[in-house]
Amino acid sequence: GWDYTWQFVSFAYDFGIMARFLYDGALPLYDSTIWIGLDNIGSNSYYSLFDPFVVILTLFPRSWIPALFAITTFLKIMVSGLLMRWYLKYLGISEGASRLGATALAFSGYMMFMVGFPTTVSACVYIPLILLGIDKVIREKKPYCLVIGLFLMGITSFFFLVVACVW
């Protein structure tokens, strides 16, 4: 759809240009070609500027970006299922039921509908990790999973970090 093609894919093409700073140290902080001109960090953080799944795109040629979006979306769905299985196993649910629950999350209607919104799919990946982290803080007083989950959610999209914290 329109959002996917005109916003997310065009961001990915620009992201390759912004990723140059890894090599030459020059990060363009302002881009006059984004709508009427916007700052790169603030406006592109919504589009997953620091999302680990998007960073993978910089390792490949720019012409592969549309296909890589499909591959990374499939990878996100797999990771969300694995994290949900880990969470359900932590709750003491049987292996079969954990696999079924993980599959239900990974291939839920919501995830399938949101495939056109890569930021949303990335945010859904980290929800099971955040839930696991909350349970680990309550039961074991260990905040590591929660901190890692919130950190990944925060660098993926500040918008969904706020939603996850309020939710």
CA 130 to chain centroid, in Å, comes to 13
Phi/psi-derived region of residue 163, left when phi > 0, alpha when psi is between -120 and 50, beta in every other case: alpha
Quick: pLDDT tens for 105-148: 999 998 888 887 888 888 889 999 999 999 999 999 999 999 99
> Do residues 111 and 144 make contact, with C-beta atoms less than 8 angstroms apart?
no
Question: pTM of whole model > 0.85?
Answer: no
Beta bridge partners, 38, equal 31
Residue 20: per-residue pLDDT: 63
Mean pLDDT over 142-164 rounds to 90
Token pair of 91, please?
């709750």
Which of 132, 145, 123, 133 is CA-nearest to residue 53? 123
Residue 21: per-residue pLDDT: 65
d(CA 126, CA 104): 16
Residue 134: per-residue pLDDT: 95
d(CA 111, CA 118): 10
Token pair of 33, please?
């070609």
Q: Residues with Cβ < 8 Å from 161, sequence gap 6 or more?
A: 150, 153, 154
Residue 16: per-residue pLDDT: 63
Residue 18: per-residue pLDDT: 61
Quick: pLDDT tens for 6-64: 677 777 666 666 666 666 766 677 777 666 777 777 777 776 778 888 878 778 887 88
Residue 82: per-residue pLDDT: 97
pLDDT band for position 92 (cuts 50, 70, 90): very high
Token pair of 159, please?
């918008």
Residue 96, number of CB atoms within 10 A of its CB:
8
Residue 94: per-residue pLDDT: 97
Residue 163: per-residue pLDDT: 85
Residue 5: per-residue pLDDT: 67
Cα dihedral 54→119→2→167 (10° resolution): 180
